[in-house]
Structure 1
């Protein structure tokens, strides 16, 4: 058995068939493996806790003989102390996993909506930009507290308080670290991360007032009248799509993300419904359409090669953010209105103006009821039986528009309000 040296290794000839092992006479347990292709890899073999263990050190060229010998001696020393270097390497690798790597694995493994994926990615690259390449195990409670307070008081760019973003961002971080606790383990099965540092925010989350913004009752008619007139004078395809999208949101109470992505294969003009197979709450639903909503869809232009009901020249192929239209709607309403405010407006008209049962409005906005009876005995997906209710809401909006137009022209509207 020779001593392994550079001269010895350089003179090695590849074996004809299977690999060959060459052991060093000087350092017991240190050797190398030669393959028929001529690849030389340094190895070390010893016993740890009564069991034989063979470990690959690395390829010749990356390691010199002397470097590999020194690594072998370290491994053999660890084995004599009862530590398996393979387990230590696995534990060290798990401890080095970065926040970026955890986020990528989480996004890959979890069945998330596109909006959730976008929110996670946004916070990883903005809220936690400085932590992306840090081992997630190195994130501690002090870091969490400091960064949370920074976002809460200054925002991600320092332009002003952003308590909502602080709450959302650290909810994302909490989920990512919980995932890491479950996924990354030491060889003995215990987690690399003992606890979640975001738990330090217990009772420190910013209490946020629920958003209640909607179109004021006195302005609903004016807004609808404006949208109708704007539709008649739309000067390009994207503008037309934006206007129609906003009108559909007000007539149906749908979520912007779901309505904007609507495709023609999920629209039935004959029976008067639209279908959402995988909405936010994962409850597939068939939403009935009022005659006003049907008229909008029947007069929409279909674009060859584009399946979307509200097409756009943008990369997604559909309108994502009807910003300009919403800005004009806000001017007419006299207050800033968002697409989600249209959803609240639809619900409020149903409850307060049309006297509809709360449960029916909840179903029309695809909020699955919490009660046992409603969840297990009511139809919560095929909602065509609620078409009269959605028609009442649309008719009320239409009536308010006629009143607003009459007021604008100086007519007496007392009879119209009766």
Structure 2
């Protein structure tokens, strides 16, 4: 039970008031609505305690603790709170709104990351954005990153890396879009309605860095495969990276999809494997081609851990994590600069040269089709439907690399791959020449 009494607040009167056995409210006779709440623990807190018009219960608004807050400060704060109550507002709600509006960029990012369930690799990249490029604003209110700050920051990062500058701004744009709907005031009012990154669109300030379009050429493939063979003998780690690179080329899968692949997702007996965590969130089941089967069986036979990661490594995660140094050794030995995504483009380019259907390529790469594509909704491409085109692509790559024995189709696969690379005019000439040779043979 709370006891209550009333007198005019003075420092002397408050100081000599004893600590009560029960929570007690003292009302200020000089300003109705202002109270000092005394607790048995000794704390003394200024509050406003008043009903709004039409309410059945009073609203308690905490102002501050005595003596940190003086009587005069308490009266000034109480007058403002009483004005809000008299206008029908709730000062507690307004205070919550002000706290939300002062939320820092780092706090928004933490909420964003928890809400989105980011992959580990994505989280590391975003952490770098906050730590390296947005550190100046990380512990300031999100609103501090206004349009002028956005332009200045984007220009500064662009001097070092135009692509990185655009990447950081796209990340910041995502935070503002998230904050707009996550933090609201009374009646759903937006606290972050305006996204300052939009100024880059309005003033056409994006760097528009051209998309990479590099891939391994047919002439580079033999030397690249030779480099893999030479470096596999440097140890289990380098061997794992070489195998990862080769599988990336033969499947077109992304780096994270392969590095996180476990033996539990691989079914060698049925010739298929399963990718559970993909970039677009849709699981993917693919066939195991003959050459991929050979790599996987070799890795399984050489591994002591048949339950862990396919591309295992001696670290805390138990798998490859950042193989850039090992990949650079392959590039140096082969004399060909490349990234794992270049291998994905090489796979896709080879598939296109073989006239593999667009929907099939999209499924092999796990690219989404447009929602308004009705035809795509009727296609069901299981591992068995994908097996033949996947095998053709892998055979063509091995043929271009000069490794006919490794390709399951032998000379037939080699011929198919060579013919697929010819122009229409060259194909017609080839058919004419072969027909002529056949007629000569028949005449003899």
Larger radius of gyration: 2
Q: Which residue is 1:360 aligned to?
A: 360
Q: Quick one: distance in 2 between partners of 1:181 and 1:136?
A: 11
Which deviates the most, 245-254 or 304-313?
A: 304-313
Q: Which residue is 2:7 aligned to?
A: 2
Q: Quick one: distance in 1 between partners of 2:77 and 2:139?
A: 28
1:257-272 paired onto structure 2 within 5 Å: 257-272=256-271
Query: Deviation string for 1:236-291 (max 9, x for gaps)?
Result: 22112111111111111110111011111111111122211221112211111111
Find out whether 1:278 has 2:277 as its counterpart.
yes
1:326 to partner: Cα distance: 2.4
Q: Quick one: distance in 2 between partners of 1:244 and 1:252?
A: 12
Number of aligned residue pairs: give it: 397
Q: Quick one: distance in 2 between partners of 1:64 and 1:10?
A: 16
Find out whether 1:349 has 2:350 as its counterpart.
yes
Q: Which residue is 1:22 aligned to?
A: 26
Find out whether 1:322 has 2:328 as its counterpart.
no
1:75 to 75, 81, 97: 81
Instruction: Indicate conservation of the 8 Å contact 1:221/1:404, yes or no.
Output: no
Which deviates the most, 27-36 or 80-89?
A: 80-89
Q: Quick one: distance in 2 between partners of 1:197 and 1:324?
A: 38
Q: Rate the CA distance shift 1:329–1:186 in 2: closer, same or farther, 3 A.
A: same
Q: Quick one: distance in 1 between partners of 2:291 and 2:392?
A: 11
Secondary structure, counterpart of 1:275 in structure 2: strand
Find out whether 1:144 has 2:145 as its counterpart.
no
Q: Rate the CA distance shift 1:15–1:149 in 2: closer, same or farther, 3 A.
A: same
Gaps of 5+ in 2: 1-5, 406-413, 420-444
Which deviates the most, 361-370 or 98-107?
A: 361-370
Q: Which of structures 1 and 2 has the larger relative contact order (alpha carbons within 8 angstroms, sep 6+)?
A: 1
Q: Which residue is 1:394 aligned to?
A: 394
Query: Deviation string for 1:285-320 (max 9, x for gaps)?
Result: 111111111111111133449711111123332112
Instruction: Indicate conservation of the 8 Å contact 2:398/2:404, yes or no.
Output: no
Indicate the RMSD between aligned Cα atoms, in angstroms: 3.0
1:392 to partner: Cα distance: 2.1
Q: Which residue is 1:293 aligned to?
A: 292
Q: Which residue is 1:43 aligned to?
A: 47
1:16-415 paired onto structure 2 within 5 Å: 19-35=23-39, 37-46=41-50, 52-60=58-66, 62-63=68-69, 67-76=73-82, 79=85, 84-152=90-158, 154-155=159-160, 162-202=161-201, 203-231=204-232, 233=233, 235-300=234-299, 301-304=302-305, 307-331=308-332, 334-352=335-353, 354-370=354-370, 372-380=373-381, 382-402=382-402
Q: Quick one: distance in 2 between partners of 1:306 and 1:288?
A: 20
Q: Quick one: distance in 2 between partners of 1:50 and 1:138?
A: 39
1:398 to partner: Cα distance: 2.8
Instruction: Indicate conservation of the 8 Å contact 1:113/1:280, yes or no.
Output: no
1:11 to partner: Cα distance: 4.0
Q: Quick one: distance in 2 between partners of 1:324 and 1:118?
A: 18
Secondary structure, counterpart of 1:109 in structure 2: helix
Instruction: Indicate conservation of the 8 Å contact 1:4/1:31, yes or no.
Output: no
Gaps of 5+ in 1: 156-161, 406-413
> What TM-score does the superposition give when structure 2 sets the normalisation length?
0.80
Q: Quick one: distance in 1 between partners of 2:313 and 2:154?
A: 38
Secondary structure, counterpart of 1:27 in structure 2: coil
Q: Quick one: distance in 1 between partners of 2:193 and 2:392?
A: 56
1:130 to partner: Cα distance: 0.9
> What TM-score does the superposition give when structure 1 sets the normalisation length?
0.84
